[in-house]
Structure 1
Amino acid sequence: MNVLTNGPDGPEGPEASNNGDYLTSRRQVWFAFAMTFALMFFDFIDRQIIVSLFPHIKSEWNLSDKQLGSLVSVVSVVVGVGGLPVALVADRMGRVKSIVVMAITWSLATISCMFTANYSQLFVARAVVGVGETGYGSVGVALISTLFPKRLRSAALGIFYAAPALGSVLGVALGGMIAARWGWKAAFGVVGAPGLVLAWLYLLVRDYKTVALAPHSKQASQSLGGTLKHIFGTLARTRTLLWVCVGASAQLITVSAMWSWLPSYLNRFHGMPPEAAAKAAALVVLVGAVSCSFWGIVVGRLARRQPRNKLPALSALCVATSVIFVVAFGGAYTAHIQFMLIVLGGFFMNCTVGVVAGIAMDVIHPGVRSTGAAVLSLFQNVFGLAVGPVLTGVLSDHWGLQHALAVIPLCSVLAAVFFVIAMRRYDADAARISDVQLDVAPAFAGTVSADTAV
């Protein structure tokens, strides 16, 4: 096992000593959290701003709903597919440096979207946005999960995963407002620049030292093939992670469908101008952002004595999500009543995001947390976030948008089933890594420390 050290800020290695302390000083941990949250926030502004621009793009380029949905889905597909190799590098080479490179890439790609002249060019530019975002969520989750004490993990990740929803809120709202004043292409330039500044500041964040999977064995380090076999063998034996991946993906089909198509639905069926529809949809996403933190804290508290109870709690919340949205889009209501039902559904639909990440970190070996989180990200992006927008677009082209949005939430019922199955292996998987010890890495060479910066 790794030997724990006492740094200048006090004892380190909370998971090994079980003293509930942070891996390094609270100031450094919360600085790392704030910076990672900020980058995730602008990540989703860049990713989701396009949904409020759908009416403008559809009108100017005469696109189908399937094509519009693909402009959202392509980012998720690239993020999911590219996340594993990026996370493998991050787990071996360092998480902070990887995050800085990714943030610069996606910010420049977002800015490039404003110079596109047709659908194909915009599609490619959006794909490059995904290239920049590959692995960011998984690497950020690994960093936060390891710096914070285990008792605060679900709450911290619940708050962290409010960032995508909050970023989506601002992206949707800004997209409509900027497009109304300066044209839809200008929106990409406005939201792309802040990520470049944050990437530079992220160099101040403290990383943690990479932990060997098998400290007393040299087998895994003899070759790249041996290392990969050891890593993925470790993850494959963690059955809780695999079932949680499938359940999280199913729930995110519902979430991504609502995030992507609600502005267009309000525009088409309730006659709202694009800017007003974007603001109304942003309210639903904002409710989801608040609920993400709320459910992360509530579920974490409910399962404090018996951590595996997080899984049946998620199952119940997923069923509630499905019922509310099916009722909202499956019946005939006034615009006001239907919107209130949609807002209520928005309060439940983001329930899984932070809690799922916390469950995954509970059962993944610290030496491969970035990679394990990338597996979760792969499922969530490719089989969840990517599926929702384009599947809804396909169903909309055949049945109409309202019927499509009434059917999609049934995926949340599948999520509920998978979470119950995952509960059976949680205790055994968590016990397997309970004695692993951790230590904080030195500050990034050539930079001042976070204690100096804040």
Structure 2
Amino acid sequence: MPRHDAPAPVPPPRRSRGGRYALALLLAVNLLNYIDRQILYAVFPLIKADLALSDTALGLIGSAFMICYMVSAPFFGWWGDRWSRPRLAAAGVAVWSVATAAAGVVSGYRGLLAARAAVGIGEASFGTVSPGLLTDFFPKERRARILSLFFLAIPVGSALGYLIGGLIGHRLGWHAAFLVVGLPGLALALPLGLLQEPHRDGSGSPPDATAPPGYRTLLDNRTFLINTLAMAAMTFALGGLAQWIPTFLFRMHGLDVARGNTIFGAITVVTGICGTLTGGWLGDLLQRRTPRGHLVVSAWGFVIGTPAAAWAILAPSLGHCLTAMFVAEFFLFLNTGPLNTVIVNVTRPAIRSMAFAVNIFFIHALGDAISPAVIGWLSDRLGLRTALLATPLAILAAALFSFLCGGTIARDMARAGE
């Protein structure tokens, strides 16, 4: 007969249902996020010619987006740890979709700057809450793989942005390109707003307006801070390359807007899918053996990517340039899942939206909020090829920070309850 005095076994924390649906929905929204973000760079030569802009002024259009994106992020991060994350993300989708479409009807430089700034505000609300929201639907052993799937939107969405922007811009003009990609996001805002808010990290606790501590607690987390510096250096390089490589192919190798964007987009989508998925799988595999597993993958990816990026810029022939670009992008995308997983692993559930907000602020403040304009300024004085050599140096710095970060991650994971 069963013993009635024996304590009942404590079941493991249950994950919220609907993980696959949440992943599919958030991935679709993130795809539109990066299409709307990158389409600007696909039509750079067309905007430059139409509005008669210098490279510095052209670079500032991309910087306007990033400045508003990073400045808005801390506000949305604080709010996301205290309110419904799906509703906050859905509001952001609606804002950036309307703003992208608005860029298609403006006639001057100031209007385009204002529209891109509004896109940054909308995307900040989604970017701060979505990674933590998604990981709360799945167990921690699968985090890197799940985040790698989510961040497939970076290469795929970026490639689609280049392809759509190049093709439509070449045939119908840059205004039409913004209109075509802007409005579809409104169709995803409603289902995202209705998405179930999961238990935060399986704790069974709903959002509490008084529970989350402030931003100052993140200053004591050395792993989080050093990891953020690594991602900032990476973002400086990737932001500069993403904005200027289509123009580089146009100027240095004689490719027209449509062909240059098509080739660059194809390389980005193939290397992005392969590199991102490989990085997530390798990160989770090595993490079972050592707390530094995710960082090892990222650090060596940066080390290998540095010389490849330099050769892509310096190669005299188009074939060598594209081959080196393929290798460089693969090893850069390798780190996407692992480095974002490090943020989740070393921060407590109650402050993860704020952690991603701080990360977003600093990686863009030190990264692609300034790199497009910096490279544009250097290009006006030294030429575009020489200016782009700043990017391999930034990638090497990212490798050094990733190695350094490995010395503190075990302690900070323990403090976060991981």
Q: Same fold per TM (> 0.5)?
A: yes
Q: State which of 377, 385, 406 in structure 1 corresponds to 2:389.
A: 406
Matched, 1:431 2:410: no
Output aligned runs, 1:23-172, within 5 Å: 23-25=15-17, 28-172=18-162
Structure 2 match to 1:447: none
SS state at 1:13 partner: coil
Structure 2 match to 1:299: 283
**Offset of residue 406 of structure 1:** 2.3
Matched, 1:322 2:306: yes
Q: 1 CA distance for matches of 2:408 and 2:368?
A: 26
**Offset of residue 173 of structure 1:** 0.5
Q: 2 CA distance for matches of 1:98 and 1:144?
A: 14
Matched, 1:313 2:297: yes
Query: Residue 293 and residue 379 in structure 1: after superposition, are their counterparts in 2 closer, same or farther (change >3 A)?
Result: farther
In the superposition, the TM-score normalised over structure 1's length comes to 0.85
In the superposition, the TM-score normalised over structure 2's length comes to 0.92
For these two proteins, the number of residue pairs brought into alignment is: 404
Matched, 1:286 2:286: no
Letter in 2 for 1:421: L
**Offset of residue 319 of structure 1:** 1.6
**Offset of residue 42 of structure 1:** 0.1
Q: Is the 8 A contact 2:89 2:193 kept in 1?
A: no
Q: State which of 221, 224, 230 in structure 2 corresponds to 1:241.
A: 224
Query: Residue 355 and residue 210 in structure 1: after superposition, are their counterparts in 2 closer, same or farther (change >3 A)?
Result: closer
Percentage identity across aligned positions?
Answer: 30
Structure 2 match to 1:257: 240
Structure 2 match to 1:200: 190
Q: 2 CA distance for matches of 1:137 and 1:35?
A: 14
Q: Is the 8 A contact 2:128 2:360 kept in 1?
A: yes
Q: 2 CA distance for matches of 1:76 and 1:387?
A: 8
Q: Is the 8 A contact 1:392 1:408 kept in 2?
A: no
**Offset of residue 60 of structure 1:** 1.0
Q: 2 CA distance for matches of 1:209 and 1:145?
A: 10
Q: Is the 8 A contact 2:90 2:126 kept in 1?
A: no
Q: Is the 8 A contact 1:103 1:195 kept in 2?
A: yes
**Offset of residue 433 of structure 1:** 2.6
Q: 1 CA distance for matches of 2:371 and 2:65?
A: 13
Give every structure 1 segment of 4 or more consecutive aligned residues whose post-TM-superposition deviation is greater than 3 Å: none
Structure 1 match to 2:8: none
Letter in 2 for 1:330: L
Deviations 1:221-263 (A, max 9, x none): 4xxxxx78x3223322221111100111101111112211111
Deviations 1:298-330 (A, max 9, x none): 222123221323213311211211111112223
Q: 2 CA distance for matches of 1:353 and 1:73?
A: 22
Deviations 1:353-407 (A, max 9, x none): 2211101100111011111111111122222222332222111111111111223
Structure 2 match to 1:8: none
Letter in 1 for 2:313: F
**Offset of residue 210 of structure 1:** 5.6
TM-align CA RMSD: 2.1
SS state at 1:205 partner: coil
Q: State which of 220, 229, 232 in structure 1 corresponds to 2:215.
A: 232
Q: State which of 317, 320, 331 in structure 2 corresponds to 1:337.
A: 320
**Offset of residue 122 of structure 1:** 0.3
Query: Residue 284 and residue 393 in structure 1: after superposition, are their counterparts in 2 closer, same or farther (change >3 A)?
Result: farther
Which 5+ residue runs of structure 1 have no aligned equivalent? 1-10, 15-22, 222-226, 436-454
Which 5+ residue runs of structure 2 have no aligned equivalent? 1-10
